Structure 1
Amino acid sequence: MARDNALDSPARRGRAQPKQSRDRFGRFTEWIARAMGTPTFLALLTLFCVAWIAWNSLMPAGVRFDEVSNGFTALTLVLSLQASYAAPLILLAQNRQDDRDRVQIEQDRQRAERNLADTEYLAREVVALRMAMTDLVEQSLSRDVLRQELRTLLAELDDRAALEPGERPATDGGAAKKESR
């Protein structure tokens, strides 16, 4: 028992088909435009025209289908028809390429904006790190100065403790005086 709406088969929607056929036609126009812009195409078209002219000039009159006396009217018609179809197909291919280029330019612009924002963010972070490092160095220097001061004070306290109980160390560069009670 096969069901059309089974879970293992894709859902069918009528809207997907026109887009696919438009895309297929667009790819076809691009293929034509690429093919017509090649030296191979020009060589084949030249060979076609030479063969046409040679057939209608050199073959017996009963097998000719385009008379020289009429100026190869059928050849002119075929080449005009080819040109009248080639021009719009090439334009369609160019329009598709323009659309792709427009999308690519928009994506490049968005990527450039993101890169700029990232660069600005990183620049701010670098400045913040520099400031933090400067503060850290200043704090380190002030810590070193503070440590040195504390060491000096500790040394003075050690000197005081080493003195006799009644003596006081000189702070003004003079001799130590005895404390009077």
Structure 2
Amino acid sequence: MIYSSNQKPTQPIAPADHLRFHRAHEHLAPTFGTDRFAMRAEAFARFFGTPMFLGAQTLIVLLWIVANVSGLVHFDLYPFILLNLAFSLQAAYAAPLILLAQTRQAERDKARTEADAKHREALAILANQDSKDMLRLLRQNTDLTSATNALAARIETLTVELHRHILKMDGVGAVPPSA
């Protein structure tokens, strides 16, 4: 417990919830939702931008073209119409998933920005209150120091007066020293 001369005892402060401004936006955390399809769609959209995806796609296209040009297979001869169809199908699914991921990411970014702004505002209010409290404590300290100095001066004055009084009393009843 902390006591002050003009305050009642204060209770211990509970730990602050540093994420209190973000909790209202937790529903935005999963990009596509929380069901199985949403999790798979998000994983798929994330996979599109990886080097592994680009490498695998390049390898598949090269094998496709080499196999058809060399005559190993004959299902998609030059101009590779089936390969173009596969790319179109991939783009038809990839584009909406990527756009959806970007839209949801923008919503999450906006929510985080708003929550961070509220948090900074709360910190500014707290800092302002702390500075007011610090100024009040400094004034109290200055007042106490002044009072202490005044009391110390008064004690010194009384000590000097008492010393003089005692010396006078010793002089009145004292016997002169013999030579």
TM-score (norm 2): 0.66
Question: C-alpha distance in 2, partners of 1:98/1:23?
Answer: 18
Question: C-alpha distance in 2, partners of 1:117/1:106?
Answer: 17
Question: C-alpha distance in 2, partners of 1:94/1:102?
Answer: 12
Is 1:23 paired with 2:31?
no
Q: Which residue of 2 aligns with 1:49?
A: 61
Is 1:140 paired with 2:148?
yes
Question: C-alpha distance in 1, partners of 2:33/2:165?
Answer: 95
Q: Is the 8 A contact 1:56 1:64 kept in 2?
A: yes
Q: Which residue of 2 aligns with 1:67?
A: 77
Question: Which residue identity does 1:65 align to in structure 2?
Answer: F
Question: Which residue identity does 2:34 align to in structure 1?
Answer: D
Question: Which residue identity does 1:144 align to in structure 2?
Answer: A
Q: Which residue of 1 aligns with 2:137?
A: 129
Greater RCO (Cα-Cα under 8 Å, separation 6 or more): 2
Question: C-alpha distance in 2, partners of 1:98/1:26?
Answer: 17
Q: Which residue of 2 aligns with 1:7?
A: none
For structure 1, the residue ranges without an aligned partner over 5 or more in a row are 1-20, 165-181
**RMSD of aligned C-alpha atoms?**
2.6
Question: C-alpha distance in 2, partners of 1:34/1:114?
Answer: 35
Question: Which residue identity does 2:77 align to in structure 1?
Answer: E
Q: Is the 8 A contact 1:66 1:73 kept in 2?
A: yes
Q: Is the 8 A contact 1:66 1:74 kept in 2?
A: yes
For structure 2, the residue ranges without an aligned partner over 5 or more in a row are 1-31, 173-179
Number of matched residues? Answer: 141
Question: C-alpha distance in 2, partners of 1:159/1:40?
Answer: 101
TM-score (norm 1): 0.66
Question: C-alpha distance in 1, partners of 2:113/2:38?
Answer: 21
Q: Determine which of 58, 75, 78 is the counterpart of 2:86.
A: 78
What percentage of aligned pairs have identical amino acids? 34
Deviation of the 1:82 alpha carbon: 0.6
